[in-house]
Amino acid sequence: MIKFVVCNCRLVGECNYDQITTVNNTALSIASCTCLGNFTGLNCNSPKNQCMQGCYPGVLCSNTDGCGLCPSGLDGDGLHCVVAVGKNGFNTL
C-alpha cells in the first residue's frame, strides 16, 4: 500500500517526518511541525504571545514584537535591564 505524508507547516516551520499522525486509519499521514521564530501552533500559524513572561518594570510589550526598550540609563533587551556603563567605566545615570 502506498502511503502519503503531508506537511502542513507554514513558512515559519519545519516538517518533522519522524513524528507523523495517521488520518483515520488510512494511507494518509500528517507530519508534525517544529515551529521557528515567534510562531507556535499545530501548523506554526499562530504568533507566540511575547508578553507572557513579562518585561522589566516600566517597559511596554507587544504580543508580536516582545519587550520594548529599557528605560533611559539602562541597557538590555527589555526583559532584563541593567545600569548602563559608559565608555569611561562609570554608570550613565
Task: Render each residue's pLDDT in the chain as its tens digit; 93 residues.
Answer: 899 999 999 888 999 999 999 999 999 999 999 998 878 889 998 888 878 888 999 999 988 788 999 999 999 999 999 998 765 555 545
Does residue 28 sit in the same domain as residue 61?
Answer: no
39 and 65 together in one domain: no
C-alpha cell at 18: 519522524
Please tell me whether residues 55 and 90 are part of one structural domain: yes
3-state SS, residue 70 = coil
Same domain, 41 and 19: yes
Looking at the fold, whether 54 and 85 belong to one and the same domain comes out as: yes
Residue 40 contacts residue 52 (beta carbons within 8 Å): no
The contacts of residue 69 (CB under 8 Å, 6+ apart) are 59, 78
Note the pTM of the prediction, 2 decimals: 0.52
In which domain, by residue range, is 71 found? 50-93
Taking a C-beta distance cutoff of 8 angstroms, is the pair 27, 4 a contact? yes
User: How many structural domains are present in the chain?
Assistant: 2
Please say whether the beta carbons of 20 and 5 come within 8 A: yes
